[in-house]
Structure 1
Amino acid sequence: MWVRSKTVMVMSSVLFTAGCAASAITPSGREAARDAERAAAIAALAAPGQNVASARLLPQDNCYWYEHTGPVETTLLPLVNVDGQPICLQSKT
């Protein structure tokens, strides 16, 4: 009897905790449109041969980086324009 009630308590707590897990946050329509416009602008600036779909803005340098999948590992590389210059946002200061 003790094992059964202990099992029920553990299962209940697991289910309760799973229900409290953070759900995915979806952007509003305005934010999604702005993100789509930004992604299109970045894709237009980027030189060919880069995985623009994986591009992300890193706060350390305010520049975009993309995932390059090589034969051994996947590495973040700076996203560059056709002139070889990194694509970065201007600082707010």
Structure 2
Amino acid sequence: MQIRTAAIALTLLVLAGCAAQRPDIAAEEASPYPIPNEVVAIAGPNQDLTTARFDPADDCYWYYHAGPVETTLVPLRAANGNQICNAKPV
């Protein structure tokens, strides 16, 4: 009986570890910097613009990429592959 109970418990733990987990992006602090229409226009394909945000630390735009293993914050890129950042004054 104890072996059966242990086997069931182990199976449940293993299956629970396989469940997909995504961070609650909506619960995070909302970005005070909305994404301008110009940025949306030059953004390349296959990027989730609904999660895009501006990072004032580096003056660039970032978005959450939901991969098969984890959800990662990656730079927002233009169609030509360049990272989308604000121009720094000279």
Provide the TM-score with structure 2 as the length reference. Answer: 0.57
Q: Is 1:71 the equivalent of 2:68?
A: yes
Counterpart residue number, 1:48 = 45
* Gap regions ≥5 residues in structure 1: 1-26, 28-34
Alignment counterpart, residue 61 of structure 1, candidates 58, 65, 81: 58
Counterpart residue number, 2:84 = 87
Partners of 2:50 and 2:86 in 1: CA distance: 18
Higher helix share: 1
Query: Number of residue pairs matched?
Result: 58
Moved over 4 A (4+): none
- One-letter amino acid matched to 1:41: E
Provide the TM-score with structure 1 as the length reference. Answer: 0.55
1:30-45 aligned within 5 A? 35=34, 38=36, 40-45=37-42
* Gap regions ≥5 residues in structure 2: 1-31
- One-letter amino acid matched to 1:85: N
Across the aligned residues of Structure 1 and Structure 2, the Cα RMSD in angstroms comes to 1.9
Alpha-carbon deviations, 1:42-65, whole Å to 9, x = none? 111100000111111112210000
Query: Identity over aligned residues, as a percent?
Result: 45
Alpha-carbon deviations, 1:23-72, whole Å to 9, x = none? xxxx9xxxxxxx47x1x221111000001111111122100000000111
Partners of 2:53 and 2:89 in 1: CA distance: 18
Partners of 1:85 and 1:74 in 2: CA distance: 21
